[in-house]
Amino acid sequence: MALMITEECINCDVCEPECPNGALTQGEDIYSIDPALCTECVGHYAEPQCIEVCPIDCIVPDPAFVESREQLQTKFESLLGTAA
């Protein structure tokens, strides 16, 4: 499942540099996460780094993009260009 940022985001700039896939971008009011790039850090870290550093806990699973850990791993491999 890709992650999403809720309206509670304070645009603090902490999450963006932590994303190994470049899935986070700064919007006018809040950051957003590109579901095509978000692997919840599968392949990089044990836990999503954006969630780990968010000071207000506004990053949650996106119900519109439900993916298994295996699907996230496949997406990670595809992003790296190593998918079989």
- Over residues 52-82, the pLDDT tens digits come to 999 999 999 999 999 999 999 999 999 998 7
Pairing of strands 31-33, 24-26: antiparallel
pLDDT tens-digit profile of 10-50?
Answer: 999 999 999 999 999 999 899 999 999 999 999 999 999 99
Distance CA 75, CA 73 (A): 5
Question: Which domains does the chain carry?
Answer: 3-80 (3.30.70.20)
Q: Which residue is listed with tokens 């836990």? A: 47
Q: What is the pTM of this model?
A: 0.89
Go through 33-43 and write b for each residue having 16 or more CB atoms within 10 A of its CB, e for each that does not.
bebebbbbbbb
